[in-house]
Each structure stands twice: as structure tokens, then as C-alpha cells.
Amino acid sequence: MIAIPAVDLRDGACVQLVGGSYADERIRLDQPVAVARRWIECGFRRLHVVDLDAATGNGSNAAVVTAILDHADVDVQVGGGVRSMDRVDDLLTSGARQVVVGTRAVEHPEWLADLAVVHPGQIIVAADVRGTQLVTHGWAQSQQLDVLDFLEEIDHLPLAGVLVTAVHREGQMVGPDLALMESLTDATHLPIIASGGIAGRGDLCALEHRGVAAAVIGMALYTGALDPHSTAEEFSE
């Protein structure tokens, strides 16, 4: 399993939110490119970059995303408000290794299918959940769709993976939703990328034991609960 630092962008800064609430911002760092470089220097081989403003329709951090891609010599997966084929093409051309799509992929599965065929192995689907129910539009809207049912619908597509964020645990460092993640890895051949609630090394080991391919880590790294150097070394593939 590989550990992936999260670089979440808001108003040009790198932030960490709690419970998916934009009103509960706990971390704000004003130089996101430097933050990304720091994680690379610690030994991480992949970054997860999300434009939170684009995800909610409240602006764009496209210039910051481009700057991170320009300065990163590791794989970078980029998401947040990606809802057109043109934007996917732009990100891949700019150097993103994978592009993360969520809202439009959930609401328009035919678009996702076309996208996956055009860019096989380069698209990650963001299946953000509260409990097991999918949420979209930057976690603001609930969908009447269970994540396991959604996974069954997309299982045949040539995707790079499915990123499942347990929004109900996001930023709270209370441990990941292990039962959910295990049910997902049992249900699909697609790589599952877990996010939400990770507090320490034991959580990463537990996810790895349950067949999770990767884990996106935010608050635990930014607060120092996880040592970045040892985490990058141990969870590197």
C-alpha cells in the first residue's frame, strides 16, 4: 500500500477541514507549492491535490495546481471540480498522472464511461460518502445511491482506482471506516484508495491488511501525528 499526502487548496492556501465542513478549517498554510515540495522531500512518491474551491463552485486554484505540477517530480493525482473532458485533458497535458472525477462521474455515469475509455488507467473516481451514501458537489449534496451499488455499476471500467473518502470521519483522526473499506475491496477488482479518519501507523496497517491499495493522509501528517519520513518509507508501493 502507498501513503499519499493530501494537498487541499482553498483561496490559494493549503488547508485541512474537519468533517467535510468548510466552516471548520483547522490548518492553513500560505505556500502550497512549498508544502507539496516538503512532502516530496520527505520521500513520498505520490501527491493528492484537490481544488476545494472548484469542487464547490466558489472559485479556482488552477494556477496553484499548475505550479505544483511544474515543481513535482513524483506522480500527482489532481481533482476538485473536474467536470469536463477538456479539463481532464488540460490536467493530463500539464503533468498530472491521474485525474480525480467525482460529481459528474456520479451524476452522469455515461460521461464517466466515455472518459475512462479515452483515458484508460488515468481516471480515479471519487466516491465520497457519509456512512455509505454518496455525497457530491464538495460534500454538500447527498445522493440517493449507496457506494456499493455505485461500485457495481463502474466495476467494469478501465479506471486507475476509486477514492473513497469517509466524510463523516474526515479530519477527525478517529480512525478510518475499516468495515466500509473492507466491504469495498471485497466487492471490486478496482484499486480502492481510502481517505478519512487516519490517525496513525496502526490505521495504515489495518487498511493494508484489508486490501486497500492506497491511503490519502491529511490531518495526521499536518499535525505531526504521523512521522512523514517513516511513513513515506514504509508505505511506498
Q: Which residues are catalytic?
A: 8, 128
Rounded Cα–Cα distance for residues 134 and 112 (Å):
16
Nearest CA to 183 out of 204, 145, 152 is that of: 152
Please, are residues 189 and 158 in contact by the beta-carbon 8 Å criterion? no
- Give Cβ neighbours of residue 68 (< 8 Å, ≥ 6 apart): 7, 32, 33, 36, 47, 49, 76
- Give Cβ neighbours of residue 145 (< 8 Å, ≥ 6 apart): 106, 133, 134
Q: For the packed helices 147-154 and 178-187, what is the interaxial angle rounded to 10 degrees? A: 30
DSSP summary character for residue 13: E
DSSP summary character for residue 189: S
Q: Cell 512532502 sits at which residue? A: 39
DSSP summary character for residue 191: P
Please, are residues 87 and 55 in contact by the beta-carbon 8 Å criterion? no
